[in-house]
């Protein structure tokens, strides 16, 4: 399928570029729905768009609570605020969880590509103890200090891919708000946009 750039994507790329001098611009919040029906929110690192698509990538530990949330309910929303340009993006859609047990060879290749795109220091965090479980002892948890840089993804590493359905864009400097909706879930190029009151 030929991917057409969604109309909101250039706005986001422009915001990333104009705020790139701020380290926090590569972080956004990811909200999921827990098994108790309540929202769960956390900060994650933006890992780029998947190839030329409109899908947004994140890395995570497959032992984290967000994986249980997403396997039970794949719907999620991210919220990004760029402090210099005063722009907010709320992007919701479905999240594909790509762990080592994924049966699709293409998705496993994407997982491996994302693994090697991460820094060696980032990869080390997946060798630590299970996130969210009680820490044993009074000392900070030790994470191994080295990992073979040519070794493929470890079992705990998981690639998350958000496939957006709706984007709510707010620019507080220009007092402009636009909502983007994908008409057909199977087509990247079927987006509509509406200007709405901020």
pTM: 0.90
Q: Which CATH architecture has domain 9-127+149-196?
A: Roll (2.30)
**How far apart are alpha carbons 68 and 70 in whole angstroms?**
6
| Residue pLDDT, tens place only, 170-190 | 999 999 999 999 987 666 668
Please give the backbone phi and psi of residue 164, each rounded to the nearest 5 degrees, phi first: -65, 140
Return per-residue pLDDT of the chain as tens, 198 residues.
445 689 999 999 999 999 999 999 999 999 999 999 999 999 999 999 999 999 999 999 999 999 999 999 999 999 999 999 999 999 999 999 999 999 999 999 999 999 999 998 899 889 888 887 777 766 665 666 677 888 899 999 999 999 999 999 999 999 999 999 998 766 666 899 999 999
Through-space distance between the first and last CA atoms of the chain, rounded to whole angstroms:
35
Token pair for 158: 């998981």
Token pair for 107: 């998705």
């Amino acid at each position: 399928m030929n991917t057409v750039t969604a109309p909101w994507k250039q706005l986001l790329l422009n915001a990333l570029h104009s705020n790139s001098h701020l380290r926090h611009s590569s972080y956004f919040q990811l909200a999921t729905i827990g098994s108790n029906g309540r929202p769960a929110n956390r900060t994650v690192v933006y890992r780029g768009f998947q190839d030329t698509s409109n899908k947004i990538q994140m890395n995570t530990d497959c032992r984290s609570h967000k994986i249980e949330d997403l396997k039970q309910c794949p719907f999620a929303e991210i919220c990004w605020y760029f402090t210099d340009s005063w722009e907010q993006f709320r992007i919701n859609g479905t999240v594909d969880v790509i762990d080592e047990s994924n049966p699709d060879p293409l998705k496993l290749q994407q997982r491996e590509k994302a693994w090697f795109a991460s820094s060696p220091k980032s990869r080390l965090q997946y060798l630590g103890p299970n996130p969210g479980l009680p820490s044993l002892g009074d000392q900070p948890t030790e994470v191994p200090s080295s990992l073979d840089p040519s070794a493929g993804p470890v079992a705990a590493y998981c690639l998350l891919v958000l496939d957006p359905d709706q984007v709510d864009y707010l620019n507080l400097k220009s007092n402009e708000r636009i909502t983007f909706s994908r008409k057909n879930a199977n087509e990247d190029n079927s987006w509509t946009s509406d200007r709405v009151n901020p």
